[in-house]
Amino acid sequence: MNAISRSCLAVAAGVVVSFGGGLLQAQTTAGTGPSLPLPTLEAPDLAKGPNAAAHMLFQKTILHVNVANVDVRFGKATQAQLAQLIHGQGFSPALEAQLAPIVIGADRAVVQMQFLRDIPLNRWIGVVRDNLEQARSAGLISREIEQLVGGRLPQLFSALEKRGYEKGDRIVYSVTAEGLRTAVFSAGGQALVDIQDRDPRVRKVVLASYFAPKSDFREPLLKSLVEASH
C-alpha cells in the first residue's frame, strides 16, 4: 500500500480513506470541520512541568522483551486537577483509583507509542482489541464502540498490512474535545497513516483503553505521573 503513487478513494464503514504518495489518510464521515491538531507531544497547548506527563517502558512480562516506550502528556486543565489531587502524596492503589477517572476524562491529551522492535500489524490489532475489551468490561466504552473501532482497524491501518510496525516507528494519538487524530510516523519521520475522527464516542477510546483497570499501561503510567512530581 505504501508504494501507491496515484490517489484513490474508498468509503466503507463510515470512513473515507484516501491513498496518495505513500500516505494513508482517513476521515470518518461522522461530522466535518477544520483539521484536528497534528499528533505531537510538543503541541503548544499541552501542559509542562509536574503532573503533566507520564512515561513507561512496555515489556512482554514473561520474557522481559522491550516492546515500546509509551508517553502521555495532558492538557493544562487536567494537569491542574492532577496536581491538586496528588499534592505530595506517594503512589498507592487508592490514589491510582482517584487519578484514573481524571485522565480517562481528559479533554486534551497526546499518547505516543514508539516501537523498540518490529511488530506485525495483525499482532498489534489483536492487542488493541484486547484493550478495547478491557475498557468495555470496565464500563468505560459501550459494546457498540468496541465493535466499531475494533472492526475498522484493518481498513484504517491497511497501509501497514505488509510492512507492519518497524523499530523506531511511532503511533501518536491526539485527543481533543473536538475529536481524535491518529498518525503513524516511520523512524525517519515519514507520515504513513493520518486518521481524523470527530465521533465524540471514539475520542474517549484511547484514554479508556490505556487506563482501564486491567490494562498493562494503567499502573506504570499513573505511577510515573505521581513519582515525576516528587
What is residue 36's predicted lDDT score, i.e. its pLDDT?
A: 74
pLDDT top residue among 43 and 20: 43
Residue 10 is placed in which grid cell? 474508498
Task: Provide the 3-class DSSP secondary structure of residue 213.
Answer: coil
In sequence order, which ranges of 60-139 are alpha helices (DSSP H)? 76-86, 93-104, 121-137
Average of per-residue pLDDT values in the chain: 85
Contacts of 163 (CB under 8 A, 6+ apart): 2, 121, 192
What is residue 21's predicted lDDT score, i.e. its pLDDT?
A: 42
What is residue 33's predicted lDDT score, i.e. its pLDDT?
A: 55
Q: Give the start-to-end residue ranges of the domains of the chain.
A: 42-182+199-227
For residue range 73-131, what is the model confidence (pLDDT) as tens digits? 999 999 999 999 998 899 999 999 999 999 999 999 999 999 999 999 999 999 999 99
**CATH class label, 42-182+199-227:** alpha beta
| Angle between helical axes of 93-104 and 76-86 (0-180°, round to 10) | 160
Could you give the CA distance from residue 169 to residue 161 in angstroms, rounded to a whole number? 14
pTM: 0.85
Nearest to 67 by CA among 127, 19, 1, 145: 127
Contacts of 80 (CB under 8 A, 6+ apart): none
Mean pLDDT value of segment 25-48: 72
Nearest to 175 by CA among 207, 149, 220, 153: 207
Could you give the CA distance from residue 73 to residue 51 in angstroms, rounded to a whole number? 9
